Amino acid sequence: MKKVEYYTLKPTLKQYFGRKVNKSLKFDEWTEDKKVHQVMENGVLTTTIKDERKITLLADGKEIEIESQEESNIVQKIPTGVILIWDEMQGYIIPQYQMATLDEIEDDLKAIKEVYNSTEVKDDSQRNEN
């Protein structure tokens, strides 16, 4: 019988600039286009967004331009230990996925490899006995 292999999701090697929230984390940052301003102090992240957009559309057979303006404030109390990742358009965001440093990933891979090697089954028939 052929040996069954274990597979895992291949990690991405893309790196993101980020910061881990702690009690002393403090910053005052702007995105390059100056549309998003963020201030972090005392565990509170305040995001101010100011943006203008123009769209052209057809109305009564004529092209007209509509201008939209956005001004908003978002205030978030961020718990210690949360990782914030820098996005060029949005500023610091809470990522949708769990993030880790390369050292943490290396430690996890070593642990997974140890478990895999210690539980390796020689024969497929043993897998279905549970």
Q: What is the pLDDT of residue 1?
A: 65
User: Is the separation of the CB atoms in 3 and 124 below 8 Å?
Assistant: yes
What is the end-to-end Cα distance of the chain in Å, rounded?
19
Average pLDDT, 10 consecutive residues per value, the chain (130 residues)? 74 86 96 97 97 91 93 97 95 90 86 77 49
Q: Is there a contact between 85 and 18 (Cβ–Cβ < 8 Å)?
A: yes
- Confidence at residue 11, expressed as pLDDT on a 0 to 100 scale: 74
Spell 71-90 as b/e; 16+ CB within 10 A means b. Answer: eeeeeeebeeebbbbeeeee
pLDDT confidence of residue 2? 74
pLDDT of residue 31: 97
Say what the pLDDT of residue 104 is: 87
pTM of the entire predicted model: 0.68
